Structure 1
Amino acid sequence: MPRARAIATRVGLDWFLVALLSMIGLAYLWPELGVDREPISLGDVANYGVSVIFFFYGLRLSPEKLKVGLSNWKLHVVVQLSTFILFPLLILPLHTLFEDTPQELLWLGVFYLAALPSTVSSSVVMVSIAGGNIPGAIFNASISSLLGIFITPLWMGIFLTSGTGNFDMGSVMGKLVLQVLLPVVLGILLHRFWGAFAERNKGRLRVFDQVIILLIVYTSFCESFARKMFSGYSITDVLLLGAAMIALFFLVYGLILTVSRLLGFSRDNQIAAVFCGSKKSLVHGTVMSKVLFPGGTMVGIILLPIMMYHALQLLASSIIAQAEARRKAGD
């Protein structure tokens, strides 16, 4: 039990998931605080927090480690194609099943999830537990996060432009450059000076990230509840969504594992590929939603699939990682 609790804490199965659910409940009971702009706009506070999150993310990126990881190109190609091509192509054809139904907005949330980059911390932790290629995991998770700044809005832009006609790609990219990319670049440039400080305090910085995410989730759901955006959905819809999310995880996991074996990957690289390629980032999902869906009224529904996938991917991958660790110990 202590070992399981320690692993759960390391990968994020702790107070944070409980707090996420609490923010939804609080938004349902008290949406006014997240909607009102006086005496202070919590939405504006969250916007500033987004830039700080990505500044510290860039501060912890080591250019030297990224250079070292460049050589294992087959692993990188599999992970990035899985993250940004396989996921969206699995979800995109399903739009015809939900078009012009109350569930279409939930589908959009799932498609947004599919377009997101991989996680960083939990991917590396899982690869470490399973005994996989840790440098490869660090490289792929980091590169995925950077690529997602550009690729995620491109995927969403194609769909939203064709579906609504009011998606301004130039405006969105401009906001992402100012709010996300610029802080990351600034952090990377200052890595040599403050990188060690950021690494020493990564625990505190993680808590800051989580607090900002909770604030974004709260304000997003406040907007949705205040405008009764969830009125057309039932408990059955939510349960089916959860089942679909865990099915999506195992489908992608199985496809990546099959491709890795066909390409002759070593066991270490297989582990890095399946854990990095099957994950999706709650951090990027929440913070980028502030830019991609500026209206705010439907963001709560858009974020629901990534929140569910986040929890379920951690549960499933932690079980798999521990099994891989036991298998390696028995070899």
Structure 2
Amino acid sequence: MKSLRWLPDPFVLLIVMVVLLASLSPVYGEGARWFHYLTQGAIALLFFMHGAKLSSQQVRSGLSQWRLHLTVFACTFAIFPLLGWLLSPLFKALVGQGLTLGLLFLCALPSTVQSSIAFTAMARGNVAAAVCSAATSSLLGVFVTPLLVMLMFGVHGDFALGDAVVQVALQLLVPFALGQFARRWIGVWVQLHRNWLKQVDNSSILLVVYGSFSAAVVGGIWQKVDIGHLTVLTGLCAALLAMVFAITLFLGRALGFEQADSKTLFFCGSKKSLTTGIPLANVLFPAASVGLIILPTMLFHQLQLLACAYLARRWGERDGEDDASSRKPEAFCHQ
């Protein structure tokens, strides 16, 4: 069973299959135009359902631990982007301008929600605080990520903030707000059908990946990125993840957080959201460049899942041996 821990995430495998499909049979011409409309509708549906699912009580429940939350947000939206900006000359020298922009975009993304909470629970951390930090980070990312992209791309590329704000508002914020408004009528239904709605989310992401990589393939992405660049890019993502791991561990000790809160900081402050990143990239960047932009995020996502799964299990088992009677297993099975 231990070998199963290192299997790739099934959803990531689906994304890889979709990338291969787009590489072998991309959609182009008039078909690409209609497929673009389909993906825009899928993104709107995705954020509408996120608005309907997000409970305001979840966000309010952990706000009292403001020091922890501010530290998580600082790691996500300040330290991570600063690392990317400082390392961007190295990135550019090793993998070129296009993938450097992708790495900078990765650094600007919010934290994950589901996996941050799940890994915190598995490691016996502060689950309530993880729910608040991860959910709030995801919401803030819709506003903060475009601003961070503007600041970093102002040096490394062209970025029209005004157009981006309008696109984010129309395609992401308006559906999200409508979902929040409709929650009073469909909230119970959404909770009862969470598993089915997760498949809707995943399907929306796969549509966007196929459309994005189709445009990238037509634009010649595989002439720009060879196996050597992919290997180096994977190494850079792993190094970036290791640095953020070290920083979050140091901050947890330096700021005097309890062990459970330090685990929450570690798992929420070191992660980046593929689910939020792909729709945002589709909104913020030209279709032909989206595939190159999201490639680092796709690699980083799998690396963070593998590393966090291993560490969460190890910490959870270690603490479980120390105080096996102080926590009930059922408390973690439902996270």
TM-score normalised by L of structure 2:
0.90
Contact 2:119–2:309 at 8 Å: present in 1 too? yes
Pair 1:298 & 2:258 matched: no
Counterpart of 2:9 in structure 1: which amino acid? L
Distance 1:197 1:255, change over 3 A: same
RMSD of aligned alpha carbons:
2.0
Distance 2:186 2:128 in 1: 22
Match of 1:47 in 2: 40
Contact 1:95–1:104 at 8 Å: present in 2 too? no
Pair 1:27 & 2:22 matched: yes
Q: 2:171 aligns with which of 154, 172, 179?
A: 179
Distance 1:163 1:263 in 2: 34
For residues 281-303 of structure 1, what are the alpha-carbon distances to aligned partners after superposition, in whole Å with 9 as ceiling and x for unaligned?
0011100111110x211111111
Match of 2:67 in 1: 74
Match of 1:158 in 2: 151
Counterpart of 2:81 in structure 1: which amino acid? P
- Residues 310-325 of structure 1: pairs in structure 2 closer than 5 A: 310-325=301-316
Counterpart of 1:27 in structure 2: which amino acid? A
Match of 1:64 in 2: 57
Distance 1:29 1:317 in 2: 33
Counterpart of 2:30 in structure 1: which amino acid? R
Contact 2:216–2:287 at 8 Å: present in 1 too? yes
- Residues 119-138 of structure 1: pairs in structure 2 closer than 5 A: 119-138=112-131
Distance 2:234 2:41 in 1: 31
Pair 1:118 & 2:86 matched: no
Q: 2:208 aligns with which of 182, 191, 216?
A: 216
* Identical residues among aligned pairs (%): 34
Report the CA distance between 1:95 and its aligned residue.
Answer: 2.4
Report the CA distance between 1:65 and its aligned residue.
Answer: 2.1
Please say which of residues 169-178 and 98-107 is displaced more in the overlay: 98-107
Contact 1:76–1:140 at 8 Å: present in 2 too? yes
For residues 170-198 of structure 1, what are the alpha-carbon distances to aligned partners after superposition, in whole Å with 9 as ceiling and x for unaligned?
22111111211122222223323322221
Match of 1:148 in 2: 141
Structure 1's consecutive aligned runs of 4 or more residues displaced over 6 angstroms after TM superposition are: none
Report the CA distance between 1:100 and its aligned residue.
Answer: 8.1
Distance 1:171 1:26, change over 3 A: same
Match of 1:244 in 2: 236
Report the CA distance between 1:37 and its aligned residue.
Answer: 2.7
Distance 1:321 1:71 in 2: 25
Q: Secondary structure at the match of 1:71?
A: coil
For residues 35-59 of structure 1, what are the alpha-carbon distances to aligned partners after superposition, in whole Å with 9 as ceiling and x for unaligned?
2333972221111111111111111
Structure 1 portions without partners, runs of 5+ = none
Q: Secondary structure at the match of 1:70?
A: coil
Match of 2:267 in 1: 275
Match of 2:12 in 1: 17
Contact 2:52–2:186 at 8 Å: present in 1 too? yes
Q: Secondary structure at the match of 2:257?
A: coil
Please say which of residues 108-117 and 48-57 is displaced more in the overlay: 48-57
Match of 1:89 in 2: 82
Please say which of residues 58-67 and 79-88 is displaced more in the overlay: 58-67
Structure 2 portions without partners, runs of 5+ = 323-335
